[in-house]
Amino acid sequence: MSDQNAILYAAPEPYPPIRVERPNPRYAQMLQANFASASSELTSITQYTYHSLVLGRSAPEAADVLHYISITEMHHLDIFGRLVLLLGGDPRYCSSRQGCPVAWNGNMVTCHASLCEAVRSDISLEQAAIHTYQYQAATIEDCYISAMLNRIILDEQLHIRAFRRILESCR
């Protein structure tokens, strides 16, 4: 698979500009969780990279898919980091749970060496992201942020379809 194929794991629609209507610390905190929490883009990148590496010999095509999806997730991480900054936050590798800071760590990554278990776990992570982004898009009253969240959802839906194609080989 060539680097050109990385495009297959991002929806064809263009990303909207990275903008916000105005700084908003509450929105920054919400998007910080998308940046670095147990169900964040950082966790997705790390988990998919791990799965790509350990499955490289036994399932090379699936490993390539995971690799290229992780690249798309890196773009999402960058977008959320930039939005957090524009909103007045600090895109550190931590989030907040009930007002207390929670540092991102490798224990947030679900690691499986089995193709089927790995992909099921990866689907769950994508579904959690979609659910969060849909909620945020509906509740955040900033048209630029909502547009970006809705655009990123398109990528996450594409990733689920790719993962489900891989799962078909498990049956």
Question: Would you state the structure tokens that stand for residue 10, as one six-digit string?
Answer: 């991002």
pLDDT at 4 over 80: no
Amino acid at residue number 99? G
Q: Where are the domains of the chain?
A: 24-170
Q: What is the pLDDT of residue 8?
A: 77
pLDDT at 2 over 50: no
**3-state DSSP of 58-107:** CCHHHHHHHHHHHHHHHHHHHHHHHHHHHCCCCCCCEEEECCEEEECCHH
Predicted TM-score (pTM) of this structure: 0.93
pLDDT tens track for 57-94: 999 999 999 999 999 999 999 999 999 999 999 999 98
Q: What is the pLDDT of residue 5?
A: 58
CATH architecture of structural domain 24-170: Up-down Bundle (1.20)
Supply φ then ψ for residue 142, to 5 degrees. -145, 110
pLDDT band for position 171 (50/70/90)? low
CA distance 124 to 110: 11
Nearest to 122 by CA among 83, 85, 84, 159: 159
Q: What is the pLDDT of residue 1?
A: 39
DSSP state of 17: P
CA distance 46 to 30: 21
